[in-house]
Amino acid sequence: MDFADLLHPDVWVALVSLSAMEIVLGIDNIVFLSILVAKVPAESREKIRKVGLLLALGMRIGLLLTLSWMMKLTQPLFHVAGFDPSGRDLILLVGGLFLIGKSAHEVHGKIEGARKATEDAVASDVASVARPSAGVTSVLVQIVLIDIVFSLDSVITAVGMAQEIWVMVAAMCIAVGSMLVFARPVGDFVERHPSVKILALTFLMLIGVLLVAEGFGQHISKGYIYFAMAYALFVEFLNMRFRGAKPKAPQPAPDA
């Protein structure tokens, strides 16, 4: 590519469009990362968050640089009762099932764990019960597994929107840079508000269902899921605002 091609407006339109799309596709990565990072000790969270995002970037660039191998992933591997899965389909199926199972487990732990903690606190007359932290290695393994799935989605989008490898790589670097900036505030917000965390987990469960459908060859636009989650978050923000503005009950007047 020469300098004239670099100045061509189509190249920059592709870069801006692809960067925006990669940032949108990175929302699920941020949500999943935020939920996992909340399980490690507080002093390790920022480091794990950065490592997770850098791993995501590394996998995306690595897949881009092996486009010939990526194309082979679309070839059917075997035939079973009218189902001809490719390597990509199997990865999406496994990743989708992992997301569904992980999200369901987290929702169960969030609700049942909170109830059990309350019961334990009442039984032992303790104000709160500490939650054990997850191992850093376990969290990193889960981040790597889901990064593989999300990277496939990201790379396939990039290949479909741009022709130049450097445009794809630049767009991914911009997207991950944006995620590095916003991952911590998003994670802190999700952790401070349990209802938002439940919504985030249901969002990931829906993404898991979408990935399983994609694995079976049924395309469902992510726009429907993003719209549903945006609406649910809007309603929850209204609820949070209402709860915050709710007048306090009047206090009894002190005895004279």
Residue type, 136: V
Residue 252 pLDDT exceeds 70: no
Residue 169 pLDDT exceeds 50: yes
> What does the pLDDT read at residue 124?
42
β partners of residue 80? 83
pLDDT band at 45 (very low <50, low <70, confident <90, very high): confident
Per the CB < 8 A criterion, the answer to whether 102 and 10 are in contact is no
Higher pLDDT, 205 or 109: 205
Alpha-helical (H) ranges within the chain are: 3-6, 9-37, 45-64, 67-72, 87-124, 136-161, 165-192, 194-215, 222-245
Residues 6+ apart with CB under 8 A from 222: 25, 207, 210
Q: Which range in 19-28, 148-157, 210-219 is most confidently predicted, on average pLDDT?
A: 210-219
Per the CB < 8 A criterion, the answer to whether 125 and 116 are in contact is no
Query: How many beta carbons lie within 10 A of that of residue 20, not counting itself?
Result: 14
pLDDT band at 125 (very low <50, low <70, confident <90, very high): very low
Percent of the chain scored above 90 by pLDDT?
A: 0
Mean pLDDT of the region 124-152: 66
Q: What is the pLDDT of residues 65-78, one digit of tens each?
A: 776 676 667 778 78
Higher pLDDT, 233 or 14: 233
Separation CA 88–CA 86 (nearest Å)? 5
Mean pLDDT of the region 141-153: 79
> What does the pLDDT read at residue 130?
40
Residue 226 pLDDT exceeds 70: yes
Higher pLDDT, 8 or 69: 69
pLDDT band at 127 (very low <50, low <70, confident <90, very high): very low
